[in-house]
Amino acid sequence: MGTTSPDANLALADPVAEGRRVVEFARGQGMTLRLLGGVAVFLQAPDAKPLLHREVKDIDLVSTKGSKRATAELFQSLGYVEDEVFNAFHGAHRQIYVDVENQRKVDVFVGAFSMCHEIPIAERLDRDPLTVPLAELLLTKLQIVELNERDERDIYNLCYHHDLGDAGIEADLISELCARDWGLWRTCQGTIERCRADLGGYGLDERDRGVIDDRLRRLWEAIDGAPKTSKWRWRAKVGERVRWYEEPEEEAEAD
């Protein structure tokens, strides 16, 4: 890795600015890190000012496969403290570091994103200089079984600021992943239905609600209309008699 700059371990108080700094510092060290979670949603909005504001507490990142040691060295050089217990058990796939000064956690997914469902998130990290691609970013929110308000705000912000299509949210990619996995399909169905039902509770004007609702509707039509695999059809026969999602540990929930 390259030489650490004199101010490399001075974490910024603003999590959005700090997230950008970490990614850019990693790039200078020859590493690939990309943001997800609330920080990524902010950075994907014009001037990092999304339609619906929400508090961002932690920083979530994804690194490439096999980067466990390099990731640990990077955050040590940035002045972060390792969560030794968590990383000892999960470090090959997920790591946690703490910014003591700002009382902030950094959660790093190594090679894959796995919460309620697993999303192949590390395969296209070169698509955007700071965050994971929009389709994967939205999927990390759609795959949540028990949504909270900040998750809904993130989904609304992504759908408001980005239309469906190759230059925006790639509905075809989301549809393809859901067509292989009935569980992911089922969770996305519930999440989209709930988001559309809750949309009136955020004080948005009729036009803005219409933009978000239309994009959520079209996204679901694309997901539901995509040809399903034989594995999907087999699992669909079992349905909800068997749980179709994982329950993430409380400590390991993404922002």
Is residue 204 in some structural domain? Answer: yes
pLDDT, residue 7, reads 57
Q: Is residue 154 part of a domain?
A: yes
Tally of structural domains, the chain = 1
Q: What is the pLDDT of residues 176-208, one digit of tens each?
A: 999 999 999 999 999 999 999 999 999 999 999
Distance CA 232, CA 50 (A): 35
pLDDT digits 0-9 by tens, 45-87: 999 999 999 999 999 999 998 888 899 999 999 999 999 999 9
**pLDDT tens per residue, range 137-185:** 999 999 999 999 999 999 999 999 999 999 999 999 999 999 999 999 9
Radius of gyration, alpha carbons of the chain: 18
HSE, side-chain direction, 13 A CA sphere, residue 51:
20
- Residue 5 falls within a domain, yes or no? no
Domain hosting residue 27, numbered range: 15-252
- Work out the mean pLDDT of the chain and round it to a whole number: 93
Q: What is the pLDDT of residue 26?
A: 96
Sequential DSSP letters for 109-174? EES-EESSSEE-GGGGTTSSSSB--HHHHHHHHHT-SS--HHHHHHHHHHHHH--BSTTSB-HHHH
Cβ-defined contacts of 199-205 (< 8 Å, 24+): 199/156, 202/52, 202/152, 202/153, 202/156, 204/51, 204/52, 204/156
